[in-house]
Structure 1
Amino acid sequence: MNKPKIIAYSLLGIIAAGFLFVILFFLFFTIMEYRPKKLETVSINTESKNETVQSESSLKILSWNLGYCGLDAKNDFFYDGGKAVVARSKEAVLENFEFVKQTISKINADFNLLQEIDVKSKRSFYVPEKEMLQSYLGHL
């Protein structure tokens, strides 16, 4: 085989390998992507006080994405141009959780709508956030 054919086949092989890598990369993440069911079951705390709200009164609502208690000013989160997708440490998650508790108490809302509370998650160092929040909110 002459030298130009070897170079051409080598380049073709490198391009094919790169193309295959890109296809396999996207295929892997497409297969592994979390897809919730059309209908998900959620648990609702029904042990709260049975209070009636008067139509003339106002309600205070707290809607907060907690960011799995892993995001704060010190975190290098990838959506903000950083590289990290997990909290810095378990201690940081617990410290942020304490801030969440203080803020919830300070605001003293009638309804707390909280998002991104992790359950058995590696990104928050397996801190049982759901159970800790349920316990804390039950004492308010």
Structure 2
Amino acid sequence: MAIESGTWEMTSSDNYGEYLKAVGVGMIQRNLAEKAVPTEELTTGDGPWELSHTTQLKAWKVSFTLGEPFDQVTEDGRTAKSVFVRDGDKLIQIQKIGGDQSQVIRDYSPTGMTVTYAAKGITATRVFKRL
């Protein structure tokens, strides 16, 4: 399956709070993020791609060109250097904040998306259904 524009809603989450702790997100924001049920929207095309992440409390959007590093402000206000690359049905984001690095892999299927987060030996998984 090719990565296509669409909207997905989270249906399950495993170990996400521990991942957020590993990447330095504070306790209050971690607790709020763990309780939220996000929706993600991806817009693909010939120009920059856009990825938005929306919860009941917060929304963020990032525009990027595959393979080109860019500065990104994280949901908790930190500045990161990010790059997105495509590997088949997977959209892989490498994010660096200071000397730390994390990886987010979005694996798309016709009916959903599985997102795997990894940093400092901690892995989390969130499953989304396609809307």
Where on the TM-score scale, by shorter chain, does this alignment land: which range? under 0.3
Higher helix share: 1
TM (norm. structure 1) is 0.24
Bigger share in strand: 2
TM-score normalised by the chain length of structure 2: 0.25
Larger radius of gyration: 1
